[in-house]
A and B are shown apart, each in its own frame.
Chain A
């Protein structure tokens, strides 16, 4: 039977993820060292797991309210005001979702009307552009460049704005580049947002992973931006809780109400035990000054330095990534495309990295390497990459 006539043509037209293709290739290699992961190598701290275990033992197996457990929303509110100086009311301005991914999807569907243009920095996390298309919008990539440390520049943004522009997705600290935005960078963007009357979805899932005395600034904390921003965050990266699938969106009551309408019909609620573990993570963090985050961040930072230095030592240009847990070196001097480089590296050296173009056209010429991997493995992988680069130069 030919299903083409039945399938939604808009969705069928979106090409499969570039990562997916590479995943199949990498998964077929048994003992490859992978720098291709996108999640922490820490397990969820045991105290948070214990909270979820106790909740199961107590028979807490029911739905929660659509917006999530009120205790969790209260903790989120305290966390965001304490850490980032942004204030959201737990009852009306916070929605707990299945990971930050659902929050992004629901936000796009709540805001986009057919044909609206959504500005997306390029390269960026793979889900934004497809999410925009699924919601009926048109993604408009805004190039970011290595010479600007992959920060989004106001001039580049301004050039892509048309009368149809409605929204900017602002994903910093950035996956795949590891770029961050300083306060001044955000203020310049805010100026453009104000002038062109746009809204912003600020995906701050890596907000806790910022290094070397840099601090994360929440976009909503920039003057006038609270009312124009949907702040998205979650527990996956900061608290090593990827598999629990708990994230959240915060924003103006009117927008969160519409997002909740979609969420309640499509999802009902985020899984209860994930919410319980997340509540414990924030409560315990508040009490011990986020000790688990500090430990993980220090450990990532050491591996970050190791990786960036090694890439530079092998003659690859690698800008200093101050956020997330990725390095994004340029492999242009090898004369290979990102995909060729990664495919041959995997074949010859059994090391998996992700081609930069999987994250958008501006990622071409780069590879994404995750340093959330054991030091000994990072060292072996880097030695092999150095051999590989030397053989191609």
Chain B
């Protein structure tokens, strides 16, 4: 990664609505250089999308999240990849990770209600032939995600004017 790419990622991870012109000024690069560097980051699948960080708890949308520890039997030649693919295609599934430790896959699931989520585990996830066991934990409160703390009051405690 070049110095310019690193700077652009630093800027974008904080705020991806900053105009290209401003990014050019901030990095000391030309507009063309910035535009082509960003395009390149997108093409190399380093930047996957530009999306806001939403605190759904502050909205009126009903929503439950759970983390499901899944134990599976790995398949010949495919290892865990085939079963991971089967799982991540469900719309309810937000993230899937292969883990070290006492279980194999960690699956983050989101649904509108507890009932829907239970139905997903019972009728979609558990019946998969290679799944040998699941343990579901519900998210009760989100404190911090992707480096963003959800509950702090971000007030500036500095004096308005100081020497």
Interface residues of A (CB under 8 A from B): 17, 19, 22-23, 26-27, 32, 34, 36-39, 41, 125-127, 175, 212, 298-299, 302-303, 305-306, 309, 352, 354, 375-376, 379
Pick the contact of B158: A39, A303, A354, A379 (CB < 8 A): A39
Known A36-B161, A352-B161; judge A302-B26 contact (CB<8 A): yes
Which residue on chain B has the smallest CB distance to residue A27? B160
8 Å CB contact of A303 from B15, B26, B162: B26
Which residues from chain A contact B158 at a C-beta distance below 8 Å? 34, 37, 39, 41
Residue of B nearest to A37 (CB): B158
Instruction: Verify A306–B10 contact, CB threshold 8 A.
Output: no
Nearest-CB residue, chain A, relative to B17: A376
What would be 20 A-B contacts, judged by CB atoms less than 8 Å apart? A19-B163, A23-B161, A27-B161, A34-B158, A34-B161, A36-B160, A36-B161, A37-B158, A37-B159, A125-B163, A126-B163, A212-B28, A298-B10, A302-B26, A305-B26, A305-B27, A375-B15, A375-B26, A376-B15, A379-B22
Q: A375-B14, A375-B15 are in contact. Are A309 and B161 (CB under 8 A)?
A: no
Task: Point out the residues of chain B lying under 8 angstroms from A352, CB to CB.
Answer: 160-161
* B156 CB within 8 Å of chain A: yes
- A235→B159 CA distance, assembly (Å): 18
Tell me how far the C-beta of B123 lies from the nearest C-beta in chain A, rounded to whole angstroms.
44
Residue of chain B at shortest CB distance from A313: B25
Which residue of chain B has the shortest Cβ distance to A377 in the bound complex? B156
A26-B160, A175-B163, A302-B10 given; name 4 further pairs at CB < 8 Å. A37-B159, A38-B162, A39-B162, A212-B28
Shortest beta-carbon distance from B2 to chain A in Å? 14
The yes or no answer to B7 lying at the interface (CB within 8 A) is yes
Once the chains bind, are A354 and B161 in contact (CB under 8 Å)? yes
Q: Nearest Cβ in chain A — how far from B38, in angstroms?
A: 15
List which B149-163 residues lie within 8 A (CB) of chain A: 156, 158-163
Residue in chain B with minimal CB distance to A376: B15
With both chains docked as a complex, state the minimum distance between the C-beta of B88 and any C-beta of chain A, in angstroms: 33
Complex CA–CA separation, A235 to B144 (angstroms):
28
Cα A26 to Cα B161 with chains together (Å):
7
Residues from chain A with a CB closer than 8 A to the CB of B162 are 19, 23, 36-39
Taken residue by residue from 78 to 103, chain B's Cβ proximity to chain A (1 for < 8 Å, 0 otherwise) reads as 00000000000000000000000000
